[in-house]
Structures are given as C-alpha cells and as structure tokens.
Amino acid sequence: MTPLDQTAPAFVDMAHAIVWASVATVDADGRPRTRILHPIWEWDGTDLFGWVATVPSPVKRAHLAVNPYVSVSYWTTSHDTCSADCLVEWYTDDETCTQVWDKFANGPAPVGYDPRIIPQWSEGPTSPEFAALRLTPYRLRVMPGTVMMQGAGKVLSWHS
C-alpha cells in the first residue's frame, strides 16, 4: 500500500488531466449502473474529497439512498488509469451548492468550466435541478499507462 500523501496528489493530477469519469452506482437489487460525470478533487495535504455538480435525478437519488457508494474510474488513450471508491453525500442546500458551483466556475483548466452551459442550471446554483455530491474516497488506485505499455512506472494503491 502507498501512503495517502503520495497517492492522493498523483490521483488528483491524473483525474484532473483526464476530466471525465465513468461513475457506477448500485440499485436496490444490486445491479450496477454507470454514467459519465465530471468530478473536481481537493487535496489539502491531509484529506481528499471530490465534488460532482449534478442533476439530482430520481435514479441517482434512489441508488444512493440504498447504497451511498460510487466507484469512479478514469481512463485515457495513453492507458493512464485511476480510480476511487467513495462514500457519497448529497448536498442540496444553497450554501454548499453555491460553493460547489464556484469550484467548477473558477476551477483550473481543463477541469473547470462554466456550469451555466448545462441547460437545467440556467437559474444558477440555487436551482432545484442543481445538486452537489461529496465523494470521500476509501480506496484509490493510480496506474500510469507506462506500467502496462512499457513495464515502467509504479502503481499506487491506498485504502483507509
């Protein structure tokens, strides 16, 4: 196992370079479902959290109500991959939604973007169609593509 203080920064760097992630939830019958989401991650030297700006759809709400966990997986054509298995918490209050909105609106390229490009969010962060998911990882894995393609580099793995 690699310490969090080595794994988390490498994870954030790779995740933010790739931007889009496949995120899996599980329904009440134990069946997985994936979707593409755009998390933004924060590492403060001690804790790692991810945030997802999302439409609080009935499917996501139902899945997370019975299984409040997601698996987040990133991949790029160079075969760089990283993943995070996380506990998830919904936030719909105006203060948190505004903070998360601002994280994306002011985030570094390429992970930052103007959330108003999403049609359902034209009313801003206090719209009922806007919610935030907080991701708290309990397992991380980072694998540079060079490990698979050239036998060079190091796989980083951490779990709580």
Residue 33: strand pairing partners: 25
Percentage of residues in the chain having pLDDT higher than 70? 100
pLDDT above 90 for 148? no
Start-to-end CA span in the chain (Å) = 10
**pLDDT of res. 8:** 98
Per-residue b or e along 35-61, where b marks 16 or more CB atoms closer than 10 Å to that residue's CB: eebbbbbebeeeebbbbbbbebeeebe
* CATH number of the domain enclosing 143: 2.30.110.10
Region for residue 92 given its phi and psi (left: phi exceeds 0; alpha: psi -120 to 50; beta: otherwise): alpha
Number of domains, the chain: 1
Across the chain, mean pLDDT equals 95
For residue 25, what are the domain limits?
4-159
Q: What is the mean pLDDT of residues 8-29?
A: 97
Would you state the pLDDT for residue 146?
85
Indicate whether 84 pLDDT > 90.
Answer: yes
The reported pLDDT for the residue numbered 128 is 94
Which of the four pLDDT bands, split at 50, 70 and 90, describes residue 151?
A: confident
Q: Would you tell me how many other CB atoms lie within 10 Å of the CB of residue 125? A: 22
